[in-house]
């Protein structure tokens, strides 16, 4: 048995065959079509396998992302497609391979690692914790919105440049290229909804579905709030059934408009997050606070605990997973009565960190 290691180029077809059998057995497409930026030769060095006599036994992939936000530029290591052959489960192979992905994430200067799973206890043993914020709205009924003279379309043949232009206007997004946007638009089971100005300019877009995942979920969208609401109205009418819009918590204007509709609102987590380069992340956070005029921010890691606060108003945190939830949410500082009111006012200039990862970037 050898590994964890990256597969060589000649092994890539065999790795994809293993993943298709284990994770996409009933899909008529390859998993590489669903995750075109993760499963390609340019990311081969971030794929990890454990093999025995040429047979793949276990796999995971790391996809580094650069996430821009108003205060901090994060480097995030997204981990996905973690799977072990049925006959070799219970031997610790998945644990080995995930830990190797974390080692790579550390070596590649990622601040944090993130993954999406329902195996919470398994990943908690490796230091991951549910954190971050996600708000979803199930639009239960059709509704009217001012269409502002827009033309709506379900034609998937949309210029990647036009999508990229609106995507780039988000205050928090991952760094993408137009070529990557083109690949994302080609993912199987992707439905593209668009709204167009009378002059032919793209005004808003929304993306539903991603391979076998996210059917019925609008997981990527862009445009002004009024144009998006008009587009959501069109989508709900077109589908003739409820549709769910996934939002970051910082999309306050859109959230306020959606809350006026007959919707079911749900609060969730962004994913399972683990700190991998705390000192690097801490330095970024401290710079962000200083830029806001808060020079006495304390965010330190000691051998057995973390110390966090402003000036002499400090709080001691014993578990790394608690630190994750304090930095990225959903911990409510005020409800926990952790700090003085004036300290809370300063902390809330930056925290919780507004991290968001759009649907196309999940792996």
pLDDT digits (tens, 9 = 90+) for 268-309: 999 999 999 999 999 999 999 999 999 999 999 999 999 999
Q: What is the chain's mean pLDDT, rounded?
A: 96
The residue count for the chain: 363
What are the tens digits of pLDDT across the range 88-123?
999 999 999 999 999 999 999 999 999 999 999 999
Element (H, E) at 217: strand 213-223
Cα 56 to chain centroid distance, Å, stands at 28
Over 90: is that where the pLDDT of 75 sits? Answer: yes
Q: With 90 as the cut, is the pLDDT of residue 336 above it?
A: no
Alpha-carbon distance of 241 to 227, in angstroms, equals: 21
Task: Give the pLDDT of residue 333.
Answer: 84
What single-letter DSSP state applies at residue 207? E
Does residue 4 contact residue 97 with C-beta atoms inside 8 Å? yes
The CATH H-level (homologous superfamily) assignment of domain 2-110 is: Gcn5-related N-acetyltransferase (GNAT) (3.40.630.30)
Collapse the DSSP code of 98 into the 3-class scheme (helix H, G, I; strand E, B; otherwise coil) and give the result: helix
Beta carbons of 358 and 169 less than 8 angstroms apart: no
Name, in order, each residue with C-beta under 8 angstroms of 43's C-beta and a sequence gap of 6 or more. 37, 61, 63
Other beta carbons within 10 angstroms of residue 125's beta carbon come to 8
- Please provide the distance, in angstroms rounded to a whole number, between the alpha carbons at the two ends of the chain: 26
CA dihedral defined by 54, 33, 108, 1, rounded to 10 degrees? -10
Alpha helices in 156-240 (DSSP H): 160-167, 178-185, 225-239
**Measured distance CA(82)–CA(211) in Å, rounded:** 17
Distance between CA atoms of 61 and 77, rounded to whole angstroms?
A: 10
Give the C-alpha separation, 164 to 71, whole Å.
22
Q: Which pLDDT belongs to residue 356?
A: 97
- Strands, E assignment, 69-189: 73-84, 112-115, 129-131, 134-139, 151-153, 173-174
**Of the given ranges (218-222, 303-307, 320-324, 329-333), which has the lowest mean pLDDT?**
329-333
pLDDT of 337 strictly over 90: no
Strand 191-196 relative to strand 173-174, pairing? unpaired
What fold characterizes domain 135-268?
Aminopeptidase (3.40.630)
Domain span(s) for CATH 3.40.630.30 in the chain: 2-110, 135-268
């Amino acid at each position: 048995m050898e590994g964890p290691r990256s597969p060589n180029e000649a092994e890539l077809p065999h790795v994809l065959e293993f993943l298709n059998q284990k994770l996409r057995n009933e899909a008529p497409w390859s998993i590489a079509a669903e995750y075109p930026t993760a499963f390609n030769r340019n990311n081969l060095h971030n794929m990890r396998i454990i093999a025995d006599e040429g047979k793949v036994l276990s796999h995971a992939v790391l996809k580094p992302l650069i996430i821009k936000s108003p205060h901090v530029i994060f480097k995030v290591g997204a981990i996905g497609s973690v799977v072990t052959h049925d006959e070799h489960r219970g031997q610790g192979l998945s644990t080995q391979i995930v830990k190797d992905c974390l080692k790579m994430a550390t070596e590649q200067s990622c601040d944090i690692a993130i993954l999406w799973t329902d195996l919470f206890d398994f990943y908690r043993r490796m230091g991951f914790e549910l954190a971050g914020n996600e708000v979803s709205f199930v639009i239960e009924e059709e509704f009217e919105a001012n269409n502002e003279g827009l033309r709506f379309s379900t034609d998937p043949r949309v210029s990647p440049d036009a999508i990229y232009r609106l995507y780039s206007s988000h205050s928090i997004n991952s760094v993408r290229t137009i070529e990557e946007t083109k690949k994302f638009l080609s993912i199987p089971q992707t439905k593209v909804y668009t709204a167009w100005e009378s002059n032919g300019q793209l005004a808003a877009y929304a993306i539903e579905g991603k391979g076998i995942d996210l059917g019925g979920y609008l997981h990527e969208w862009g445009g002004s709030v009024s144009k998006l609401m008009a587009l959501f109205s069109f989508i709900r009418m077109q589908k003739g059934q409820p549709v769910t819009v996934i939002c970051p918590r910082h999309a306050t204007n859109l959230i306020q408009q959606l809350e006026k509709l007959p919707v079911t609102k749900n609060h969730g987590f962004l994913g399972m997050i683990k700190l991998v380069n705390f000192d690097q992340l801490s330095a970024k956070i401290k710079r962000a606070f200083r830029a806001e005029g808060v020079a006495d921010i304390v965010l330190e890691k000691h051998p057995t605990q973390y110390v966090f606060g402003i000036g002499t108003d400090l709080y001691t945190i014993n578990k790394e997973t608690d630190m994750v939830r304090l930095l990225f949410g959903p911990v409510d500082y005020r409800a926990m009565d952790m700090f003085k009111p004036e300290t809370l006012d300063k902390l809330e200039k930056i925290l919780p960190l507004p991290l968001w990862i759009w649907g196309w970037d999940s792996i």
